[in-house]
Amino acid sequence: MEWTDEGIVLGVRRHGEAHTLLELMTAKHGRHLGLVRGGISSKLRPILQPGNSVRAVWRARLDAHLGAFTVEGMQLRAERLMLSAIASYGIHTLAALLRLLPERDPHQDIYHALAEIADHLDDPDCAAALIVRFELMLLAELGFGLDLSECAGTGATEDLTYVSPKTGRAVSREAGEPWKDQLLRLPAFLLRDCGHSAADVAAGFKLTGFFLARHVFEPRGIAMPEARAALIATVTRGAIAA
């Protein structure tokens, strides 16, 4: 068995004396693991860093085997990303979120969204907002997408301000006003391209975090990624995290 694909490094750990186990999010083959022989070498170590894009050839005798990667660097972002706390927390958050997807299950839209975020992770003005949007996309990929198209109560498509924690559907400002303390805030940047404040980002993370916890993390008996909490604290400068 053999295939060639592009991928983004999610993680790497030592395997034996000289090899590493590489985890990639690939364009066509999903989240995929494989052995890199000689992966701790000075030549390969800078390439096998989270956030880098690589071209990978995977080979195995049988499809069910772990297999081995041969990789070459394409876009080496890691050195730049390590200089930013937001970027460092962000790439580890994204990697943890992607591990919620079944291994080797293709998700090309998720891959392309990840690549876009990776290019902007060290831009504090947009990185966090992109990750919130990514979490919304991931919820949909996992079968728990939110319906933000219209108000659940009135059918209105304008002035959508809240989300019902019970249904995951949007609620307009007018319809939600009497119950606003029981609803989740829906920041405008999740509905259209527009500016956003630290408070908007905090609200976005609170919204996605609520549904990720309810539908994904808690049923699996796992905790939210620590990197996610650190990311939120960093980008919102002490705003309440999800």
Q: Where are the domains of the chain?
A: 2-76, 81-148+186-236
pLDDT at residue 116 tops 90: yes
How far apart CA 70 and CA 29 sit, in angstroms, is: 15
R_g of the chain, CA atoms, integer Å? 19
Q: Which amino acid is at 146?
A: L
pTM: 0.93
**Sign of the CA dihedral running 41, 225, 236, 118:** positive
Q: Which residues, 6 or more positions from 143, have their beta carbon under 8 angstroms from its beta carbon?
A: none
- Could you say which architecture CATH assigns to the domain 2-76? Beta Barrel (2.40)
Confidence of residue 145 (pLDDT cuts 50, 70, 90): very high
**Sign of the CA dihedral running 225, 229, 231, 232:** positive
Confidence of residue 221 (pLDDT cuts 50, 70, 90): very high
How far apart CA 131 and CA 142 sit, in angstroms, is: 16
How far apart CA 100 and CA 111 sit, in angstroms, is: 14
Confidence of residue 64 (pLDDT cuts 50, 70, 90): confident
